[in-house]
Amino acid sequence: MSETAVKNAPIGESFKEKWQKNALYSTGLVLLIMIIAQTIALGFDYPSFGDWFSSWGKNWINILRNNAPVGIVALGMTFVIISGGIDLAVGSTLVAVGAVMMILINGNADGILTKMGVEGVPAFAIGIGAALLMGALIGLVNGELISRSKLPAFIATLGTMKICRSVTQHFMQTVGVKVPRDFTAIANTKIGGEIILPILYWLAIAAILMLVARKTSFGRHVYAVGSNERAARLSGVHVERVKALVYVLSGFLVSIAAVINIARIGSMDYANAGSGYEMDAIAAVVVGGTSMSGGKGSILGTVLGMLIIAVMNNLLNLVGVPPFLREAFKGLIVIVAVLLQKKEKAS
């Protein structure tokens, strides 16, 4: 608050105003309403408060855990969209990097590393390293096509999306789908009696990326490029590099999501893994208040956006809306969220 505004307004009002001015005000409000509705739907029919609370908490852990992988993908998508681009390839990248890892290590003992006698933690480390590298590489290809060859982001990533999934499906027909048993510890090790590791990964990455967005040159440059590419360039921003790097970051985060996904389930479905991730991630980003035209948005917003969609899904489940219909609500909330944001901007 500026000095003059504080002087002119009573403290209480200025605090409220400050809140309402916050870009995430309405997003937070929607989430709060969702959570209240969901809590009511869950019911209070428990013998004690402790029973109710543990059931409520377990439900929450379920929601968060199930959405952690796509939540991580959405974080990368946020940077891409703020830079003025879009990454449709995330779902296919997930399956491609998963495949690279499975070729190196898999539970049928026909993984390359397993045959070479490398097993256990070293093998996992190499497998995960290869996956992260592959994800970053696919991102780099997207990034170079967009920044250097000046392809529209939509087209470039639509192309790599098709290529990644099709090539993976073809070459993975004979490769085992299971990971070694120990590998699942990466996601399934219990902490405090619950499987919350995926949630912790998600939140830790979100916290780091929040700092990246706000406090690093790269992060600020992403906003600058998305808001006014020409002005950014004339201010000495390496526009091509920034544009390429957001896709590398996106690909890298997708690989992390892939590792968590595989470790969580213990296997990989080469046909369907990650499918629909691109749209779910974009939905979370948009509901979280990030502008599709670039320049505006936040990591925290995306986390809230993801939660809104996840809690809504849970709520629909609790009140008995059939699964096929739930996607319609997802579509609806995206449209409503953006309409609300537009209205807010106009007022």
Partner 1 sequence: MNVSMNGIVKSFGANDVLRNVDFSVKGGEICALLGENGAGKSTLMNILGGVIRPDQGTILLDGKKHAFHSPAQSLDAGIAFIHQELNLINDLPVYENMFIGREKRKLGFIDHQGELEETRALFSQLGIEIAPETPVSALDASYKQIVEISRALMMKASIIIMDEPTTSLTDPEIERVFDMLRTLKKQDVGIIFISHKLREVMEICDTYAVLRDGVLVSSGEVKDTSIAQLSRDMVGHDVRTAPLGRIDAIGEEALRLEKLTLEPYFRNVSLSVHFGEVLGVTGLLGDGRSELFRAVFGDLNGYRGRVVLEARPVQIKSIRHALRLGIGYLPRNRKENAIIKDMDILDNGTIVRYKKCKRLGLISRKKQLESFDKQKKELLIKMGDPSDPISSLSGGNQQKVVLAKWLMTEPKILILDNPTQGVDVGAKEEIYDIILRLAKRGVAVVVLSNEAQEIIRVCDRALVMYHGDVVSEVFGCTMNEQNIMRLATGG
Name the residues that contact partner 1, by CB under 8 A. 1-2, 4-5, 211, 214-217, 220-221, 223-224, 226-228, 230-238, 295-296
Using the minimum distance from each CB to partner 1, give the nearer residue, 162 or 215. Answer: 215
- Six-digit token string for 184: 């699942």
Closest CB 297 distance from partner 1, rounded Å: 9
Closest CB 17 distance from partner 1, rounded Å: 13
Which amino acid is present at 90?
Answer: V
Cα 336 → chain centroid: 21
Using the minimum distance from each CB to partner 1, give the nearer residue, 22 or 166. Answer: 22
Cα–Cα–Cα angle for 292, 289, 60, nearest 5°? 125
Closest CB 236 distance from partner 1, rounded Å: 5
Using the minimum distance from each CB to partner 1, give the nearer residue, 173 or 347. Answer: 347
- Number of residues that make up the chain: 347
8 Å CB contact between 90 and 254: yes
Using the minimum distance from each CB to partner 1, give the nearer residue, 1 or 40. Answer: 1
Spatial separation of the C-alpha atoms in residues 35 and 311, rounded to whole Å: 7
Which amino acid is present at 78?
Answer: T
Nearest to 218 by CA among 200, 242, 188, 251: 242
C-alpha separations of 288 from 16, 46, 201 in Å: 21, 34, 20
Spatial separation of the C-alpha atoms in residues 225 and 281, rounded to whole Å: 21
In terms of Cβ atoms closer than 10 Å to its own Cβ (0-12, 13-18, 19+), residue 284 is buried
Closest CB 346 distance from partner 1, rounded Å: 15
Using the minimum distance from each CB to partner 1, give the nearer residue, 3 or 45. Answer: 3
Closest CB 238 distance from partner 1, rounded Å: 6
Closest CB 2 distance from partner 1, rounded Å: 4
Using the minimum distance from each CB to partner 1, give the nearer residue, 63 or 237. Answer: 237
| Maximum pairwise Cα distance, the chain | 74
Spatial separation of the C-alpha atoms in residues 261 and 68, rounded to whole Å: 9
Closest CB 329 distance from partner 1, rounded Å: 31
Q: How many other C-beta atoms lie within 10 A of the C-beta of residue 162?
A: 13
DSSP state of 191: B
Closest CB 328 distance from partner 1, rounded Å: 32
Using the minimum distance from each CB to partner 1, give the nearer residue, 233 or 326. Answer: 233
Q: 290 by DSSP, 3-state: which?
A: coil
Using the minimum distance from each CB to partner 1, give the nearer residue, 23 or 167. Answer: 23
Cα 105 → chain centroid: 26
Using the minimum distance from each CB to partner 1, give the nearer residue, 229 or 278. Answer: 229
Closest CB 208 distance from partner 1, rounded Å: 11
Nearest to 69 by CA among 259, 282, 266, 271: 259
